[in-house]
Structure 1
Amino acid sequence: MNRSIRSAAVIGSGVMGSGIAAHLANAGISCWLLDIVPGALTPEEEKAGLTLEHPKVRSRLALQAIARLKKTNPAPLYREAFADRIRPGNVEDHWTELAHVDWIIEVVVEHADVKRALLQRIETVWKPGTIVSSNTSGISIEAMSAGCGPELRKHFLGTHFFNPPRYMKLLEVIPGRDTDPEVVRFMTRFCERTLGKGVVTAKDTPNFIANRIGTYGLLVTLREMAANGYTVEEVDAVTGPAMGRPKSATFRTLDLVGLDTFVHVAQNVHDHVADESERRVFEVPSVLRELVARGWIGEKRGQGFYKKVKPAGGGASEIWALDMTTMDYAPAKKPGGAAIEAAKAAKGAAGKLKALLGAGDRYSELAWNVLKRVLVYAAERLGEIADSIVDIDNAMKWGFNWELGPFETWDAIGVTRSVQRMEAEGVVVPAWVKEWLAAGHETFYRREGGRLSAAYGGAYIDVEQRPEHISLKALKERGKTVKSNAGASLIDIGDDVVCLEFHSPNNAIGADILTMVQMGVEEVRRNWRGLVIANEGRHFCVGANLMLMLMEAQDEEWDNIDFMIRQFQGAMMLLKGLEKPVVAAPHSMTLGGGVEACLPADRIVFAAETYFGLVETGVGLIPAGGGCMQMAQRQSELLRAVPDAELQPLINQVFETIAMAKTTTSGHDAARLGYMRSGDTVVMNPDYRVFEAKRHVLELDAGGYVSAPQERIRVVGDTGKAVLKMAAYTMKRGGYISDHDYVIASKLAHVIAGGDVPEGTLVTEQYLLDLEREAFLSLCGEAKTQQRMQHMLATGKPLRN
């Protein structure tokens, strides 16, 4: 069947339901959001003279939920305007609308009887072929749909989003016994491509994959803590980044999730598993029940395992931790020890884990005693909760933000050695793991010739890679590197297209990257159809090498700084003037010089989660790698396209954006700040960025690409500069910016306006680049700018001096 999903209905407007509706809206899907009809008026409704029959009252819950979406932080919507794609309603007046949508998602209370009754009611208006799913976090899909007819059951499955739906990558797809495999295939692809999710297929078992293993891990940690007298702070110091887990570790995670929610999830497994030993593990510890009884359930109530305490004498809040022996709070302490320090010093998740386990102190013992149980439990559940170790690993990485899944972790610490230690300590290792080792295998995963395979049914089976997922790492392993140095590489990504990949520390732009840009331009000019600029780092690029710049400024090596800026500008102009198409594919943090590396491209393919901005004013500088010139040029081009437009308002907006170091809140938000042009696009799944960028290169090439000619840039000149400086002066007089902020803003105004030339003057690109460089050099010599640079390097936060 040729399916598509253009419209949907979400039933249940709570935090999860409204979050799912928001993400559907993010993906361009029109969506109904339905909830029950209230039984009483609010005081505000009474004051407004409304009655219970008024549409605003009857759909109040959905209306309130949509309003909250616009105020929630972090934002569930890519752009606030996307809320217009969500239509508020209620389950009485708008019930028949379910017959006109392509996907119905129930997100009501986690109670099997309620969900079962709702599904039977949905069936009364259900249009055959429409997909129906439940966002349950653990209730049986089979039991939920038992009262429905066979045709609806064919089109029913679980789609378990993780909270918050916009930001969490994991989506567990759970087929029932009667679910049509074609529906499962379609929903998997749809959720990957259109919603940008990482999809795993889970069995219809209690809590599915991620919550089953994650809850188990948290419970065994609590038991290990109680047995050996570890503190809350000690457990979190060990079970966070040292083990390749998030900074929230164990107890901050529980506080974020909510202890009441966690108890419910654990109880669900306890009540529905048959194995008595497993049931005992999932018995909720008395300390958790006590905390829930006291209302100390985490952040939503202000305290759980941690709480913020305001000092009696005033000042910043302090974090206090719970002493579980006395049930009192005290200022949180930072544990130290050989294992913790060794893990901090090690590189990468695997290196940190080995260092942690190898130190031989009590923290090593804590890590090992937790880890061995989790690894064995994951192996025991293979075949029960999922058929594939890949799905189990991905579920934990995408749902709990582990850097390595259980089986990847096992490979990292050594399967043979760790199994021997487990058995020596009396741990029963699953038979299939021992058979796997006996067959001569040493790891659960194997990578050969750039292809990844995983243990499955006694043999290595290739891990399926979507055609849209171009892995630069795998291509390099297959020998597809064309050129490389310490900071960047050129990689053949197929179809006569190469990718410029940054891989310097933190992807900061330095001499190596700029050299590779120059080499890459020459290489592409001679031998390739076009160039993609992308990488697989945690962030695309957070700017130029600030440390090097500060050192040169403190040593007053102005010629060196001048050379570096000229080199940066020159490399960007080479990209801009290349006779072959260039497409940039930024993701995550793309700041300062990272933005300037994208602006020369013919097109930009933004990842949906891209935080993009020229933020140099935060360290006392202005963009000088062509950022000011490029943004001024874009406004001049807009003026040519719309002859009746005025240039000054356009320049005012650019000035405000750069001066205030504004960044986008998403890839879609780039349009609001003037960073997105008509040919630029947003891709929902970040794994598909390189593929999409390559597709754009090929499209431009096939269309007979000709690079844009250099045209002079119309500027607002001295009169426009006066307007910009007056706006900055007004901000200073109002106390909104400091004296040094005004100095920076004045330099920026001079560059953006085109200097001291008459309004309407046409200037060259190089003229504006020279203004950029001169202003940048001047600011580098300012003591307060150097203080800002130093503060950013030391704290990661801007200084407003």
Structure 2
Amino acid sequence: MNKRIRKAAVIGSGIMGSGIAAQLANAGISCLLLDIVPQRLTDAEMAAGLTLDHPSVRNRLATAAIAGLFKTKPAPLYDNAFAERITPGNLEDHLALIADVDWVIEVVVENLEVKQKLLTQVERHWKPGTIVSSNTSGISINAMTEGRSEEFRSHFLGTHFFNPPRYMKLLEIIPGQMTDPELIQDLSRFCERTLGKTVVLAKDTPNFIANRIGTYGLLVTLREMEEKGYTVEEVDAVTGPAMGRPKSATFRTLDLVGLDTFLHVADNVYANVKDEAEKVVFAAPESLKQMVSRGWLGEKSGQGFYRKIKGERGSEILSLNLQTMDYGPQRKVASASLEAAKLAKGAAAKTKALLGAQDRYSQLAWDVLKQVLIYSAAKMGEIADSIREIDEAMKWGFNWELGPFETWDAIGLVRSVEKMEAEGLTVPAWVKNWIAEGNTSFYKKDGGSLFQAAVGGYTPVQLPQEQISLRDLKSQNKVVRSNSGASLIDLGDGVACLEFHSPNNAIGADILQMISHSMDEVRDNFQGLVIANQGRNFCVGANLMLLLMEAQDEEWDEVDDIIRLFQNTMYRLKRFEKPVIAAPHRMTLGGGVEACMPADQVIATAETYYGLVEVGVGLIPAGGGCKELALRASHQVSLAEADLQPYLNHYFQTVGTATVSTSGHDAKRLGLLKPSDRVVLNPDHTIYEAKKAVLKLAGSGYEPIPETKFRVVGSEGKAVLQLGALGMHEGGYISDHDLLIANKLAHVLAGGDVPAGTYVTEQYMLDLEREAFLSLCGEPKTRQRMQHMLRKGKPLRN
């Protein structure tokens, strides 16, 4: 399938259609984007003398959608250059071109009749074997293809992407009654490997899995709020991180989705389910109807449950009082249950702590949660064939940390069911039977494998071979060495993985020590090393608190020792006799980047935000970052007389402005990743891919790259860099301290005060880095920046 899907066509260029086309382009797939032909000219088209027959007019909607990708926030494209892979067109002139594509995705308005008419047109040009899918969020897949040929229906299914397609990992695949099972399997594999999605198989029921349960949960939360008199901010305080849910909780989520969109989704279930009790739940609340009628749709209209206003003291976010329909200042919410949840570690512990306290907020959490759990269990078999599909859909579609059945296990299945029944609730019979059979949880681990509840007992959860879990490996006693900051884990097949697990994965002496120990262990017992972890972020940099404490005490020898240890460890890693692959993900900053630079290859996730950001705390990269960039500049030109200056100018600007890549691909554009480095779209696959890369290098007779001297721009190039910084200062763009930092950075990147074209060693460059770093640590304004970052989590401009 990876080879077969090379071209795709997306029909419908709205927010979802253009977003799906962008993600296909991100994955390297050429895409045709089609929409209807406009019936009227714009003022600009009339002024240009165009007619309705002009190609630019006829393709206007798709062309405008592609142009809009550059302005959309967050960015739909990993790299703006990828937009070249999308070709605009229209349904009248270009629909026949779908005969040359491998996958057609329909993303038009959510109207059954419109979709049926479009699929009639599609089949006229359809090439047998081509996959056709609908991105519907809830319309019946089988109803759409009524009247279509059997062969067409065997190649048709639902592919429900979540918005925005680049960032939302969930993809619900909904087979029709006649969909070829092999096609389902192949497309699922393709979407996981190539598009980076977590795929769940849903049944052809209203709103499928995630929106069915998610909408139910939001509606019962709103009803509990109205019946018990909770405020908007109280509900959001309970139904957010305190329950292992996103910060957007209930009402910020509704504002983001759009209240009109949410009502449409709820109405779809209401109109298509037969159970009267279920209809009651999905009946649109009057409060929501009233808000929509007033145009209070959420963020897109400027107000919903929250409203942002500008006052004398800056912006303020007001919350809505549903009883008066007036906005007012938010009130801080605090209680014993919320504080207990805040102090607990992990979603399971947070939820237990929240429910364990006895106050009105723990009661709200229980009143909402018990209904969602029972509803999820009641829909098992109807909306999905396994509890795992439901859990994965809620985790990746609504960003819950735990799915419903995982949550049930976390709070205690048996005890919670007893409490539900004591309160008069009806628990689905299969859950009661499951407990009666002696089971106390829906999931269990045995021998390192995960099992889930199913008819007849537990059944294995089949995970893709590309999905390596470090947590599971540690539970199987695969840890080779460990300390407080990092562990060395046996990945099997002669490959070890160095995992950071310090707070925020910040690099301190413990991690550096474990890197050295890991090299000793790998040299003797393994074929190579992967540097990766599965924390929220790969690494936010060096241990800033430790540096600040030493600098404040003016323990300059200690600071020097810390930097030398970092530099020496990275240098040894670069010259290590076994292959090293780094696999960063998400935030990879400062020292995190410098920990990846010595690797033979970096295999980053697409969502890797990569940058040498030390100037934000008044410093410069000193763990080999500046040295590596100067070395790359020298290697980017093959002739001795070629000009290095343009490359140094680029790196100077990138580091000097603390630029962070917007994706793994953008890190390549910035030159922070090498051309030989790779980007993987599915973050669950990076360790697997890194392991493969180690074995490939080891199997080809690996030899470390020997050190050679390299050319620098010297004092002349340094003057060019400093002149640019001076211009920024005189223009009022940077402060006096910024200029000081920029001059230090220029001195290091240029190779110091040597003549232009001088060849230097890596150690010489490391010495320059360290000297500049130490001198900046002595600056009071640098220490102010470090303190501010530690306190506020954002840079100080002083």
The answer to whether the superposition gives a TM-score over 0.5 is yes
- SS of the residue corresponding to residue 631 of structure 2 reads helix
Measure, in 2, the Cα distance between the counterparts of 1:141 and 1:129.
18
User: Partners in 2 of 1:397 and 1:524 — Cα distance?
Assistant: 36
Question: Which of the numbers 351, 355, 358 marks the counterpart of 1:353?
Answer: 351
- Compute the RMSD of aligned alpha carbons: 1.0
Residue identity matched to 1:129: G
The TM-score normalised by the length of structure 1 is: 0.99
Is contact 2:607–2:663 with CA below 8 Å preserved after alignment?
A: yes
Distance 1:88 1:604, change over 3 A: same
User: In the alignment, residue 779 of structure 1 is paired with which amino acid?
Assistant: L
Whether 1:671 and 2:668 are equivalent positions in the alignment is yes
Is 1:167 matched up with 2:167? yes
State the partner residue of 1:799: 796
Residue 658 of structure 2: which of 657, 661, 670 is its match?
661
Find out whether 1:89 has 2:72 as its counterpart. Answer: no
Q: Specify the code of the residue in structure 2 equivalent to 1:334.
A: K
State the 1:458 CA deviation: 3.4
1:621 corresponds, among 613, 619, 622, to 619
Cα distance in structure 1, aligned partners of 2:350 and 2:556: 40
Q: Distance in 2 between matches of 1:618 and 1:29?
A: 38
Partner of 1:47: 47
- Does the CA-based 8 Å contact 1:721-1:755 persist in structure 2? yes
1:694-734 per-position Cα deviation (integer Å, ceiling 9, x unaligned): 11111111111110001112111111111111110100000
Counterpart of 1:196 in structure 2 is 196
Residues in 2 aligned to 1:674 and 1:88: alpha-carbon distance in whole angstroms: 31
Q: CA deviation at 1:679?
A: 2.0
8 Å contact kept, 1:664–1:673: yes
Query: Structure 2: which amino acid aligns with 1:150?
Result: E
* Matches of 2:420 and 2:114, distance apart in 1: 44
Instruction: Return the alpha-carbon distance in structure 2 between the equivalents of residues 780 and 440 of structure 1.
Output: 63
Deviation at 1:774, TM superposition (A): 1.1
Aligned mates of 2:635, 2:696 — CA distance in 1: 23
2:292 corresponds in structure 1 to 292
* Alpha-carbon separation, structure 1, partners of 2:248 and 2:419: 29
From 746, 750, 758, the counterpart of 1:749: 746
How far residue 132 of structure 1 moved from its aligned partner, in angstroms, is: 0.2
- Superposed CA deviations along residues 608-655 of structure 1, whole A, max 9, x for unmatched, are 11000100001111111111111111111222x355631111111111
SS at match of 1:124: helix
Residues 705 and 3 of structure 1: CA distance in aligned 2, closer, same or farther (over 3 Å): closer
Counterpart residue number, 1:437: 435
Structure 1 residues 3 and 723: alpha-carbon distance in aligned structure 2, compared to 1, 3 A threshold: closer
Instruction: Say which is worse superposed, 55-64 or 117-126, in terms of deviation.
Output: 117-126
2:420 pairs with one of 409, 418, 422 = 422
Amino acid at match of 1:747: K
Alpha-carbon distance between aligned partners in 2 of 1:360 and 1:675, rounded to the nearest angstrom: 52
Q: Deviations over 1:55-81 (max 9, x none)?
A: 000000000000000111110000000
| Inter-partner Cα distance in structure 1 for 2:578 and 2:589 | 25
The CA deviation at 1:332 is 1.3
- Between 392-401 and 759-768, the greater mean CA deviation after superposition: 759-768
> Would you say the 8 A contact 2:2–2:194 is kept in 1?
no
- In the alignment, which residue of structure 2 is the partner of 1:207? 207
State the distance in 2 between where 1:534 and 1:541 align: 10
Of the three residues 503, 519, 522, the one matched with 2:520 is 522
- Provide the rounded CA distance (Å) in 2 between the counterparts of 1:44 and 1:738: 43
Q: CA deviation at 1:144?
A: 0.7
* Deviation digits for residues 26-75 of structure 1 (CA, Å, limit 9, x no counterpart): 00000000000000100000011111110000000000000000111110
Distance 1:219 1:123 in 2: 39
Number of the residue aligned with 1:702: 699
For 2:555, which of 557, 569, 572 is the aligned residue? 557
Aligned residue type for 1:786: R
* TM-score, structure 2 normalization: 0.99
What's the counterpart of residue 113 of structure 2?
113
Aligned residue identity for 1:485 = N
Distance 2:138 2:2 in 1: 31
Displacement of 1:782 after TM fit?
1.1
- For 1:581, the equivalent position in structure 2 comes to 579
Equivalent residue of 1:330, what SS?
A: strand
Partner of 2:759: 762
Structure 2 partner of 1:688 = 685
1:158 and 1:174 in contact (8 A); partners too: yes
Q: Give CA deviations for 1:249-279 in whole Å, capped at 9, x if unaligned.
A: 0000000000000000000001101111011
Q: Aligned partners of 1:257 and 1:111: how far apart in 2?
A: 19
Tell me the amino acid that sits aligned with residue 488 of structure 2: L
1:747-797 CA-to-partner distances (Å, cap 9, x unmatched) read 111111111111111111111111111111111111111111111111111
CA separation of 1:472 and 1:740: change in aligned 2, threshold 3 A: same
Which runs of no fewer than 5 residues in structure 1 stay unpaired? Answer: none
CA distance in 1, matches of 2:639, 2:233: 61
**Whole-Å Cα distance in 1 between the matches of residues 472 and 411 of structure 2?**
22
Does residue 651 of the first structure (1) align with residue 631 of the second (2)? no
SS for the counterpart of 1:696 is: helix
Deviates more, 1:76-85 or 1:660-669: 660-669
TM alignment of 1:708-723, pairs within 5 A: 708-723=705-720
Please tell me the residue identity of whatever aligns with 2:779.
Answer: E
Q: Contact 1:449 / 1:477 at 8 angstroms: preserved in 2? A: no
Checking the alignment, whether the CA contact within 8 Å between 2:2 and 2:190 is kept in structure 1 is no
How far 1:665 moved relative to its partner?
Answer: 0.8
Counterpart-to-counterpart distance in 1, 2:36 and 2:421? 55
Partner of 2:180: 180
**Could you tell me how far apart the structure 1 residues matched to 2:560 and 2:3 are?**
58
Q: Deviations over 1:285-324 (max 9, x none)?
A: 000000000000100000000010111xx34210000000
- Per the alignment, residue 727 of structure 2 pairs with 730
2: CA distance between counterparts of 1:289 and 1:458? Answer: 45
Higher mean C-alpha displacement, 261-270 vs 646-655: 646-655
CA contact (8 A) 1:591 1:612 kept: yes
CA distance in 2, matches of 1:691, 1:123: 40
1:290-689, aligned counterparts within 5 Å? 290-311=290-311, 314-639=312-637, 641-642=638-639, 645-689=642-686
Deviates more, 1:362-371 or 1:436-445: 436-445
1:146-186 Cα offsets, whole Å, 9 max, x none, are 12111100000000000000000000000001101011001
Counterpart-to-counterpart distance in 2, 1:42 and 1:522: 69
Secondary structure of 2:92's aligned partner: coil
Shift of 1:434: 1.0
1: CA distance between counterparts of 2:181 and 2:640? Answer: 56
Structure 1 contact 436–458 (Cα < 8 Å) conserved: no
Q: Which residue of 1 aligns with 2:241?
A: 241
Q: Please tell me the residue identity of whatever aligns with 1:69.
A: L
Q: Distance in 2 between matches of 1:509 and 1:791?
A: 19
Please tell me the residue identity of whatever aligns with 1:27. Answer: A
- Percent of residue pairs identical: 68
Secondary structure of the corresponding residue to residue 72 of structure 1: coil
User: Contact 1:140–1:205 (CA<8 Å) still a contact in 2?
Assistant: yes
**Hey, what's the Cα distance between the residues in 2 that align with 1:126 and 1:252?**
42
Cα distance between partner residues in 1 of 2:564 and 2:326 = 60
Structure 2: how far apart are the matches of 1:774 and 1:209?
A: 58
**1:41, 1:57 within 8 Å by CA — same for their partners in 2?**
yes
Q: 1:128 to 1:502 in 2, by over 3 A?
A: same
> Hey, what's the Cα distance between the residues in 2 that align with 1:395 and 1:644?
58
Instruction: Provide the rounded CA distance (Å) in 2 between the counterparts of 1:434 and 1:458.
Output: 14
Give the letter for the 2:622 counterpart. A
Preserved contact between residue 668 and residue 675 of structure 2 (Cα < 8 Å): no
3-state SS of paired residue (2:125): coil
Measure, in 2, the Cα distance between the counterparts of 1:179 and 1:316: 56
CA distance in 1 between counterparts of 2:3 and 2:207 reads: 29
Q: What amino acid does structure 2 have at the position aligned with 1:729?
A: L
Structure 2 counterpart of 1:130, one-letter code: T
Deviation at 1:2, TM superposition (A): 9.5
CA positional deviation for 1:449: 2.3
Tell which deviates more after alignment, 377-386 or 763-772.
763-772
Supply the AA of the counterpart residue of 2:241: P
Gaps of 5+ in 2: none
The amino acid across from 1:377 in the alignment is: Y
